[in-house]
Amino acid sequence: MQKYDIEKLRHSCEGVAQRLGLTIKHHKALCPFHNDHTPSMTFKEARFKCWSCGESGDSISLVQKVLGKNFLDACRWLADEHNIILADESSKFQDSGFKSEVKPFDASRYERFFERPWLNEEARRFLFDERHLDERVVRWCRLTSWKDKQGVAWLQIPYYNREGKLVGIQNRNLVRGALPRFRFPQGSQCGIYNLPVLNLLRPGDELFITEGCSDCWAMLSAGHKAIAIPSATLLTKKDIEQLLSINSHLSTQFHMYPDRDEPGERLFLQLQKVLPSLVHHQLPLGCKDFGEYYTLKIKH
């Protein structure tokens, strides 16, 4: 692999940790390598360190250790996560065997899963009992579920482009607290979520932007039109370009309820630079994100 490629993979370690399912607050998380009760793991740029058990490293070694992968597989996982095609322009590496294994997303392999979505008990519990989502939203998003060989239930979330073509899949582990929390088939382009909704926008309609698809489902269930961006720490150049293009093609007012924490506000400011007309809505005290606000509202 080219050194340049490896450098591209050394993303913000915090963002990578989030994708691995660690919950981060104030740049700290519970260490997955020892029985941690107070968040002992800290993040700084591309590195992590546990101040309790001493485990440390960079984003690549974090993936290696959490997912039990070797170096090369960890690099592939990171490349998939960030939609980076490794050694893309470099013909030198075509014969290394590396490039050939990072295949583009093969939609034809997965499309049929979403033709007749099926929700197992775990998925129904998560979507309807816990999140109180509207059945119509779940159908519109074509959410489906499956179980792996170990009997672990996964929610399967398809990502479509505006033309309705399947471009990626996010699998969400339905076992609470289990790692990894997410899995993405190779080459999945899980950038902006729910792009087909743009085709339903009428002039003057409001469009909400949420962080992550589960808040997007809550927003849709609350009767708003919404798209989601993947995560505060991972707003890619491609996501930004897409938002700019949406903004220039639609006469839409953008709205957002930022998560009630520092990354949420940071994301709002980052997005406001791209969408100057973005309207800030404040979540009530005690609600950390819109999903929580929505379930509270619907229960009362």
Residues that bind Zn ion (CB under 5 A): 31, 33-34, 50, 52-53
* Nearest C-alpha neighbor of 17 from the set 46, 54, 38: 46
- Select 31 or 234, whichever has its Cβ closest to Zn ion: 31
Please, what is the minimum distance in Å from the beta carbon of residue 30 to Zn ion? 9
- Select 33 or 93, whichever has its Cβ closest to Zn ion: 33
- Select 35 or 100, whichever has its Cβ closest to Zn ion: 35
Please, what is the minimum distance in Å from the beta carbon of residue 179 to Zn ion? 14
C-alpha dist (Å) from residue 198 to 205, 226, 227, 243 = 10, 9, 8, 12
Please, what is the minimum distance in Å from the beta carbon of residue 263 to Zn ion? 22
Please, what is the minimum distance in Å from the beta carbon of residue 32 to Zn ion? 8
- Select 50 or 278, whichever has its Cβ closest to Zn ion: 50
- Select 34 or 142, whichever has its Cβ closest to Zn ion: 34
Please, what is the minimum distance in Å from the beta carbon of residue 43 to Zn ion? 13
Please, what is the minimum distance in Å from the beta carbon of residue 47 to Zn ion? 14
Burial of residue 135 (number of CB atoms within 10 Å: 0-12, 13-18, 19+): exposed
Contact 244, 280 (CB under 8 A): no
Question: What would you report as the CA-atom Rg of the chain, rounded to the nearest whole angstrom?
Answer: 19
- Select 35 or 91, whichever has its Cβ closest to Zn ion: 35
| Beta strand segments in the chain, E | 28-29, 41-44, 47-50, 56-58, 144-147, 153-160, 166-173, 182-183, 206-211, 226-229, 253-256, 279-280
| Beta strand segments in 93-211, E | 144-147, 153-160, 166-173, 182-183, 206-211
